[in-house]
Amino acid sequence: MRVACVGGGPAGLYFAISMKVREPAHQIEVFERNRAGETFGWGVVFSDQTVENLMANDAVSGRAIADEFAHWDDIDVSIEGTAIRSSGHGFIGIGRKRLLEILTERARDLGVVLHFEAESSDDLADYADYDLVIAADGLNSRLRKRYAEHFGVDIDIRRNKFVWLGTHKTFDAFTFAFEKTAAGWIWAHAYRFADDLSTFIVECAPDTWAGLGFDTMDQPAAIARCETIFARHLDGHALMTNAAHLRGSAAWINFPRVLCDRWNYDKLILMGDAAHTAHFSIGSGTKLALEDAIKLAEVLNRPGLSRDRALAEYQTERTVEVLKLQNSARNSTEWFETLDRYLGFEPIQFAYSLLTRSQRVSHENLRLRDPAWLEGVERWFAGGADAAVAPMFVPYRLREMTLANRVVVSPMATYSATDGTPGDFHLVHYGARAQGGAGLVFTEMTCVTANARITPGCPGMYDDAHVAGWRRITDFVHDNSAAKICLQLGHAGPKGSTKVGWEGYDIPLDTGNWPLLAASDVPWDTANQIPRPMTRADMDAVREAFVAATHRAADAGFDMVELHAAHGYLLSSFITPLMNRRTDEYGGSLENRLRFPLEVFVAMRAAWPAERPMSVRISANDWSGDDGVTPGEAVAIGRAFADAGADLIDVSAGQTWADAKPVYGRMFQTPFADRVRNEAKVATMAVGNIFEPDHVNSILAAGRADLVALARPHLIDPMWTLRAAAGAGHANIFVPPPYLGGQAQITRNLARTAEMEGRA
C-alpha cells in the first residue's frame, strides 16, 4: 500500500510508524511544510494509559518516549498567591520538540520517506499515485477545508484568548495560577516537561485581554506584561515564545473546537486535529491523535477487512472516544470561560471546582488520589466539623425547614390516582421512599383542577377528599422517617388529556378528552388537541386554583410546595417562545412571558405559610438553540422567581417542544443548575441522570447545586440513601427502628467488600 501523510506532526509520523511496524512493505511518505524538528508548541501531557497503548503498538518508540518523560503528582491552584495543593494526580509530560525528534528518527529507521519544507497540494487529483491520503495537517487542515462539504465540519471558536509560552522556571506541580488585574482576571496553566523547561499557557477573557492592551502589543511587550503579572510564580525567570514569526497580537488565539460528521472521503482520511480537537485545558489532543493513528493502522492491516469496512470501524470506534473527551473538554473550557461564577468561592472549594470541572474527575477519584486533602474538603463543607462527612449527608436549611441531608427524591409521575385522590399505592410509594433516608421527598405533579391533569391517573389538590388522602401520606412520612415532603403543584396545559405513561406518552385519550388551555393555540404535537389560548378570565381562574391548592397543601401537612413551571405544561407554555405566540403583554419579551407564571407564584407565596419554603421547577434549556429558552435566559428566569420569594430553583431542562434535540449524558442538566446558582446567586437543585453517591457528592462539593434530586434510582431502590450511607460508613442517619438490623448488615457487608477489593 502506498500512502501519503500530509502533515509531519505526531499524528502523521506515528501513523507512518504504525503502518510500517505492521507491514514493512508499505510505502509511506510524510510531507511536512516546516523544517525537521520545528514546532510551535512546548510540552505535551499524557496519562499512564496512553503510555501503555504506545508500548503495545511499538515498543521501540514507546520506550524512547517513556525515557524522556517528566513525572509529577501534585496540582497547585493559586489564587492571588493563596495556594491549594493536592496530590496523587499522576501526570507525564514530554517536550513536543523532543517527541517529534523521537518519532522522526523511528520513522526513518523503519523506511518511511520524510519530506520536510514541502508544500503539499490540497487537490486529491495530485495524489493519483497513492492508494490513501492521510490529512494529518492539523486543526487548520487545507485538505479538510478543500473537501469540507464531504466531512460535515463543525468548528466552534471558543471565547477566551490564550497564548503558548515557555519558561526555564521548573514547576514541581501542575500549576494553575490566577491573578487579578485592573482589567480583570488572567491565569496560567504551567507544567514542567523537561529538566529545565516548562509550558506556560496564559489565558483570559476577551475583555480582559483588550483591557490589558494585548490587542495592540507586539509579542515582546505582551510577554513582558505577562512576566510582570505572574512575577510571583516565575521567580525571576523569563517567558519565551517559539512563534516569533507571528506579528502583533497574532500569537494570541481563540481555541477552535473541530468536529466532523465523516472522517473520510474517497481515499482521503482525516486524523488527529484535522478530524477533531480537544481543549488544551484537559491536555488530550496529542493523545487522541496518536490513538487515531494506532486504530487506523490496525484496521487497514487486518486481514480480510475491506477498506470501506476498515474506515467505518475506524471512525465508529474513535468517534466514541473523541466525543467522550470533547464533552469533558467542553465542560473544562466552559469552566474557564465562566470563571467569574466561582471567584467568590473560598479557595478550597474553588480548587475542588477546578479539579472536577470536566466531570472526568469526581469526589471518589479525589479520595483515591489524595484522601487527606479530600477529608479537608469534607470537613470544610460540613462547616468545620471535626470528622469528615460526605457532602450529601450535610444538613441544609430552607427558611424554617431543616433537611437531614442533601438527597432528594425527584418528582415522578405514577399515574395511579383515582379521580385525583391519592390512595394506598401513594401511601406505600411515598412512605417507602421517605423511610429510605432521603432528606426531602417530592410528590409527582399534583394538579390544581380536574382539567389540569396530564392523565386520568394524575393526583390532584382540588377537592377536600384529596386533602384527606394526602394528609394520610404526610402523617406517615413525619411519623416514620426524618424526611420532609414537598407537594409539586402544576397544570398540564397543552400536554393534558392523555393516556397514562405506560400506554404511550402524550397520546390523547380514546374517549373522554377534556378541553385544554395554553398560552397560545399551539398543540404539543400533531396528534394532540389544539389548546385554547388563555383569556384574562382564564388566568384569574387558574391563579385562584393554584392558590386554593396551596391552602389545601398547608392543611394536608406538607413541609414545602413547588410550582411546576417546566416541561411544556401550562406555565411553561408561557415561558418558552416556542409555544408562546402571544402579541399582548404576556408574549414576546422574557419579561412578558414570565408575567403570568410570576403572578401565579406570588399569589401562592402569599397563601403559603411564611416559615415554609417554596421552590419552582424550570426548564433551563429548550434544546432548540436560540429559538427557545437558553441557559442564559434560565439565569434571568431563576433570578425573577427568587426575587418573587422562591427559596430554591429546581433546574430541569427540555420537554417543552416535541422537536427538541437534547444532549444526554451523566449529570447532563447539572451545568444549568450550576449556572443559575452561581450567576443568579440563588439556591438550586440539580437533577437529570444522576445515579451514584459519587455524582451527588461531586455536585455539592463543587458548589454546582445545593440539593441533588434522583428520580429513576429511587423508583427501583427506595432505600437508595440508606444504602449510600452504609457504603460510606456514615452512621449518623435516621433508620426506621424495624430496619436497624438490615442497615447494620449491609454496612458490614459493604465494608467487607471494600476491604477485599482494596486487598485485591
CATH code for position 418 = 3.20.20.70
pLDDT for 128: 97
Average pLDDT, integer, range 471-481: 99
CA distance 174 to 12: 29
pLDDT for 224: 98
CB–CB of 354/341 below 8 Å?
A: no
Decide if 241 is inside a domain.
yes
Residues 6 or more apart whose CB falls under 8 angstroms from that of 455 comprise 413, 415, 498, 499, 500, 501
Q: How many domains does the chain have?
A: 2
Which residues are known catalytic residues?
Answer: 569
Decide if 225 is inside a domain.
yes
Helix, strand, coil percent values for the chain (each to nearest 5) = 45, 20, 35
CA distance 726 to 474: 26
**Whether residues 438 and 318 fall in one domain:** no
**Whether residues 309 and 435 fall in one domain:** no
Name the domain boundary from 295, 315, 336: 336
Decide if 331 is inside a domain.
yes
pLDDT for 684: 99
CA distance 623 to 44: 36
**Whether residues 332 and 457 fall in one domain:** no
Residues 6 or more apart whose CB falls under 8 angstroms from that of 518 comprise 493, 494, 531, 532, 533, 534, 570, 573, 579
Decide if 387 is inside a domain.
no
Enclosing domain of residue 321: 2-336
Tell me which of 40-44, 263-267, 527-531 is least confident: 40-44
Average pLDDT, rounded, for the chain: 96
Average pLDDT, integer, range 478-503: 98
Average pLDDT, integer, range 439-462: 99
And the C-alpha cell for 471? 394528609
pLDDT for 760: 60
CB–CB of 637/616 below 8 Å?
A: no
**Whether residues 325 and 460 fall in one domain:** no
End-to-end alpha-carbon separation of the chain, Å? 47
Q: Would you list the DSSP string of 247-303? A: -TTTT-EEEEEEEES-SEETTEEE-GGGTB---GGG--HHHHHHHHHHHHHHHHTST
Name the domain boundary from 311, 336, 361: 336
How far is CA 412 from each of CA 47, 126, 417, 647, rounded to the nearest angstrom?
Answer: 41, 61, 13, 21
Domain of 154: which CATH number? Answer: 3.50.50.60
Q: What is the pLDDT of residues 589-618, one digit of tens each?
A: 999 999 999 999 999 999 999 999 999 999
**Whether residues 209 and 91 fall in one domain:** yes
Q: What is the pLDDT of residues 158-182, one digit of tens each?
A: 999 999 999 999 999 999 999 999 9
CA distance 355 to 199: 19
Q: What is the pLDDT of residues 676-685, one digit of tens each?
A: 999 999 999 9
**Whether residues 44 and 175 fall in one domain:** yes
pLDDT for 37: 73
What is the reported pTM?
0.94
pLDDT for 380: 97
Q: What three-state secondary structure class fits 739?
A: helix
Decide if 328 is inside a domain.
yes
Decide if 614 is inside a domain.
yes
What percent of the chain lies above the pLDDT cut of 70?
100
Q: Would you list the DSSP string of 396-440? A: EEETTEEESSSEEE--------BTTB--HHHHHHHHHHHHTT-SE
Q: What is the pLDDT of residues 232-283, one digit of tens each?
A: 999 999 999 988 778 878 899 999 999 999 999 999 999 999 999 999 998 7
CB–CB of 47/287 below 8 Å?
A: yes
Decide if 681 is inside a domain.
yes
What percent of the chain lies above the pLDDT cut of 90?
92
For residue 606, count CB atoms less than 10 angstroms from its CB and return exposed for 0-12, middle for 13-18, buried for 19 or more.
Answer: exposed
Only one residue has cell 388537541, namely 529
Q: What is the pLDDT of residues 75-97, one digit of tens each?
A: 999 999 999 999 999 888 999 99
As beta bridge partners, residue 191 has 199
CA distance 728 to 730: 5
For residue 303, count CB atoms less than 10 angstroms from its CB and return exposed for 0-12, middle for 13-18, buried for 19 or more.
Answer: exposed
Which residue type occupies 399? Answer: R
Name the domain boundary from 336, 358, 376: 336
CA distance 191 to 70: 10
Residue of 67, 75, 30 lying closest to 51 (CA atoms): 67
Decide if 389 is inside a domain.
no
Q: What is the pLDDT of residues 178-237, one digit of tens each?
A: 999 999 999 999 999 999 999 999 999 999 999 999 999 999 999 999 999 999 999 999
**Whether residues 298 and 410 fall in one domain:** no
**Whether residues 329 and 444 fall in one domain:** no
**Whether residues 327 and 415 fall in one domain:** no
Q: In this model, does residue 48 exceed pLDDT 80?
A: no
Q: What is the pLDDT of residues 712-737, one digit of tens each?
A: 999 999 999 999 999 999 999 999 99
As beta bridge partners, residue 277 has none
CB–CB of 500/456 below 8 Å?
A: yes
